[in-house]
Structure 1
Amino acid sequence: MKTNPEKDLELHDKINRETGRVKWSELERHFASGSVIWVSEALDLIDVALRIAHDDKESVTKWMAAGAVAKVSDVQAQTWTAAGETLWASVVSPFVLVQVEKKALH
């Protein structure tokens, strides 16, 4: 059965409520197990989480091919560790999706 993530407001709200800022150091053990996924700042983290929860392979494959969604690389992890980075995080078991905070323009 094909699901319709655009109309799943209940799950969207649940994911939104459970998304928060987390220090990278708290996610390193998940990174070590290969379950942390980086989401480009150009995408909406909640939308990506919702589509992963709905197993929307078409959207996820498109984003991965475009380099907008990927497993966190060793370089990203080292950079975030050195900077003491805080990221937005959303859990869609078995994955933890992370996104660098969008910087406000001054």
Structure 2
Amino acid sequence: MVLSKEELALSIDEAEWDWLRAHLERGGIILVNDNIDLADAALRVAGDDTEIIADWISTGMIGKPSESQIQAWDSNRHKKFSMLIVNPYVLIQEKTPTFH
């Protein structure tokens, strides 16, 4: 079953780094740049759109988190992310704190 972008957008959830860490350890985390719509990225990954994905990887728009990012997140285990599961991956985007 192929989901639509709209269905994927409705599935976006919020998770803390502490909850996502296990997925990193199994190699399942994909960090998505804020300039890419998370549902669109999930649709491309689910649809195995290798041309777009390869372009995003080569430009650093998606990929595995860096060691410095992981260290920063490990020091703030309650850091929040938007996340979307596209089995076997968990696509994440950093949530920026909002100030009122």
Native 8 Å contact 1:38 1:69 kept in 2: yes
Which structure 2 segments of 5+ residues have no match? none
Q: Percent identity?
A: 30
Out of 73, 76, 81, the position equivalent to 1:87 is 81
Matched residue of 1:27: which SS?
helix
What whole-Å deviation, never above 9, does each CA across 1:39-94 have from its counterpart, x for those lacking one? Answer: 00111111000011110001000000001101122221221121231000000000
Q: Give 1:3's aligned residue.
A: none
Q: Give 1:61's aligned residue.
A: 54
| TM-score normalised to structure 1 length | 0.82
RMSD: 1.9
Native 8 Å contact 2:44 2:52 kept in 1: yes
| TM-score normalised to structure 2 length | 0.87
Matched residue of 1:72: which SS?
coil
Moved over 4 A (4+): 102-106
